[in-house]
Amino acid sequence: MKRYLFVFSIVGLLFSACQGQKSGGNEMVDAVDSTQAIDTMTTSLQEEIAEDTPMPKAADELFDDFIFNFAANKKLQSSRIKFPLKVLRGEEVSYIKNGQWQMEYFFMNQDFYTLLFDSEEEMERVQESTSINHAVVEKIYLDAKTVKQFVFDRINGLWMLQEVVHMPLNESHNASFLAFYEHFSSDAEYQSKHLAETVKFVGPDPDDDFAQMEGVITPDTWEAFAPELPSGMIYNIVYGEPQKETGRKIFVLRGIANGMEIELSFKHEGGKWKLTKLVT
């Protein structure tokens, strides 16, 4: 408790000092500086608390449990990397030494992360499977058309980062869908042209907090239902060995701390991807 009180007192003093500078300088710059300083201290506090909290042994059973600990705990992260860490760029191979590694937060600095699945069965299976011993976290740069893969293996019961792989987007096992999604995520007109004749909708019932309602979305009503989709850079986690791309995809936006989840189901038919179902 003393640690919390001490840090919050410092944050309060810092904010007051920044506020006091406004009369002698640019108010907008001072406000931005104070916000950045507080954000930096908050992040430092979170990291300090995480490092003082050992990861439960059970977290190595499910990759999702492990990766959240890995991304939040600098000390744990450093201990779970096979140094020197191999980095592959095509045929070029380089290595990162322990002292050269920079903390990788993955999606922890945002409110959600994204996933891609080929079916609802796969989505349900991998989230609860303790038999998976290989996983890949992908940073997908849609604008740059590249993918950065962080390859993990569970060795003697412990998840370890084994290597980092850089590849062109067109070599990804999700290449066709990702090329489509880049356009779909940022163009409302393109979206309306890539909807199935009717899109099944499942969402919360406004009259009952514990029930869901089902219906259909037609192209002329899509605008009222269309969720805001991330673009530019998204994440994906491949559980186990990647499968060959199929004609179906489920794109999932999953909240990190707010319980939010949105699922968009797509089917490749007639030579193009179409949205067939939206679950909110």
> What digits encode the pLDDT tens for the residues 1-52?
332 333 333 334 333 434 444 344 444 344 445 444 444 444 454 555 456 6
In the predicted structure, residue 128 carries a pLDDT above the cut 60: yes
User: Is residue 173 a contact partner of residue 147, using CB atoms and an 8 Å limit?
Assistant: no
CA distance linking residue 181 with residue 117, whole number of Å? 14
Arithmetic mean of pLDDT over the chain: 85
CA distance linking residue 144 with residue 10, whole number of Å? 41
pLDDT value, residue 53: 67
User: Is residue 152 a contact partner of residue 63, using CB atoms and an 8 Å limit?
Assistant: yes
pLDDT value, residue 208: 87
CA distance linking residue 54 with residue 71, whole number of Å? 13
Q: How far lies 250's CA from each of 89, 178, 274, in Å?
A: 29, 12, 11
Of the listed ranges 93-102, 133-142, 190-199, 243-252, the one predicted with least confidence:
243-252
pLDDT value, residue 242: 81
In the predicted structure, residue 211 carries a pLDDT above the cut 50: yes
- Helix, strand, or coil (residue 106): coil
pLDDT value, residue 156: 96
Percent of the chain with pLDDT over 70: 81
